[in-house]
Structure 1
Amino acid sequence: MRFLLRHGAEYAEAEDAVHSAFVELIRTRQPVRSPRAWLRTVALRTFLRQAVSERPEQDLAERLAETSADWRTPLQAAELNEQQRHVLHALIQLPFKQRSVMAWHLDGFSTAEIAEAMSLEQAAVLQNLSRARRTLKQQLGLTNRRGPQ
C-alpha cells in the first residue's frame, strides 16, 4: 500500500491494486522468485492502468500532483504531520522514474533488486536515486547552504 501511495495513488486505488496483485499471485502457475518485488510491480502496473483508463483526458502527472494530502483514510491523514505531507507532496512531484526508484528504495530494496524489478541497469538506478535525492533536498529546502570552505 505504502509503495503505491508514494506513487500518488489514492488510498482506495492502492487497496484495489494491491488486492488485484494478490489475486494474480494466487492464480499464477509459475513460481515467483521474489514475491515482494513481484507484488509491487504487478500492483503498480494495475494502479497505472486504472489511473489512465479512469481519466484518459487528464495527464497522469497532473492527477498524481493533486493527491498530496488526501492519499489515506481520514484517520491516517490526521496522523500525518505537516512535514510528512510536505515530503509526500515533494515525492509525488518527481519525474516518474525517479519517484519509482525512490519508492522502491524507501521500501527497503537494494539498488540491485530495484534494477532487476524495473529492468534497468544498476548504474541507472543509482543515477535516478541520486537525482531524486538532490531534487527532494532542493524542494524541501535541505540543500547545504554553506559554501566551500
Structure 2
Amino acid sequence: MNTHDPAEGADRPAIASSDPTAQRARARQHMDAEFSAFYRATVRSLVGFLVNQGADVHVAADIAQEVLTDAYRHWDSIRHHKAWVYKAASRALVRRFASVEEPVADIPEPTSLLPRPDRIGEWEAEHDALLLVRCLPPRQRQVLAWRLVGFTPTDIADHLGLTAETVRANLKRAKRNVTALYRTVQGEEQ
C-alpha cells in the first residue's frame, strides 16, 4: 500500500516556483533564448539595411553588433524589438557619418559577421543592386533600406519623423531612379 500523500507532491513544485532565485534564473533563460532567436533572425538583414543606407560592410557589421548588444542589455524594457534595433542602428549610422574619423588603412579583422574582410570589394562588385542603391540621394536610400527590411511607409514615417506621404514619394522616386540607372547600365553593357 502506498503511504505517499499526493497533496505533498503537489506542494513541492509550488514551493520551487515561488523561490525568487529560481524564477529569475528561468526568466533569464527564457530571455536569453528569445534574444538568441531574434539575433539569428535579425543580424544579417540589419547589416544589409545599413549597407543599403551607404555604410561599408565592416562598419555596418560593427554597428549591428553594438546595437544588438545594447538591445540585449535592455531586452526587457524594449517593447518592439525589431523597430528599436533598426531605429537605433539607423541613428548610429548617422552619428558615424557625422563624426570626423580618418579612414583606416588596414583591413579590419575577421569577425563572425565578416569572416573575409579582404573580400568586401568583391562582394560589393557581385551585388550590382547595391551599386545602384548607393547612387541614390541619402533620403531615398534611407527609406528604401527601411522598406527592404519589411517596414511599411507608415512605420518608416513614424521612425524617421516624416509624413507617410513623404516616405511614399521618396520610395517612388527611388524606384524610378534605380530603374533609370539600371537601364543605363544595361545599355552600356550591350
Tell me what 1:18 maps to: 64
Deviation digits for residues 13-51 of structure 1, max 9, x if unmatched? 111111211222233387323211211111122122223
Counterpart check, 1:38 vs 2:84:
yes
Larger helix fraction of residues: 2
1:124 Cα shift?
A: 1.1
Residues 50/80 of structure 1: CA separation in 2 closer, same or farther (3 Å cut) = closer
1:94 Cα shift?
A: 1.1
Give, in whole Å, the separation in 2 of the partners of 1:73 and 1:39: 24
Give, in whole Å, the separation in 2 of the partners of 1:28 and 1:113: 22
Give, in whole Å, the separation in 2 of the partners of 1:76 and 1:53: 23
Quick check: 1:17–1:44 contact (8 Å CA) kept in 2? no
Give, in whole Å, the separation in 2 of the partners of 1:78 and 1:93: 18
Quick check: 1:7–1:92 contact (8 Å CA) kept in 2? yes
Residues 30/118 of structure 1: CA separation in 2 closer, same or farther (3 Å cut) = farther
Counterpart check, 1:96 vs 2:101:
no
The RMSD of aligned alpha carbons is 2.5
Give, in whole Å, the separation in 1 of the partners of 2:123 and 2:97: 26
Moved more, 47-56 or 5-14: 47-56
Give, in whole Å, the separation in 2 of the partners of 1:111 and 1:53: 29
Deviation digits for residues 112-139 of structure 1, max 9, x if unmatched? 2212221221111111100111111111
SS at match of 2:99: helix
AA in 1 matched with 2:73? R
- Report the identity percentage: 29
Tell me what 1:107 maps to: 149
* Structure 1 residue ranges without an equivalent (≥5): 57-71, 143-149
Higher normalized contact order (CA 8 Å, seq sep 6+, divided by chain length) = 1
Give the structure-2-normalised TM-score.
Answer: 0.57
Tell me what 2:32 maps to: none
* Structure 2 residue ranges without an equivalent (≥5): 1-46, 103-115, 185-190
Residues 107/136 of structure 1: CA separation in 2 closer, same or farther (3 Å cut) = same
Quick check: 1:21–1:43 contact (8 Å CA) kept in 2? yes
Quick check: 2:124–2:131 contact (8 Å CA) kept in 1? no
Greater radius of gyration (CA): 2
Tell me what 2:97 maps to: 51
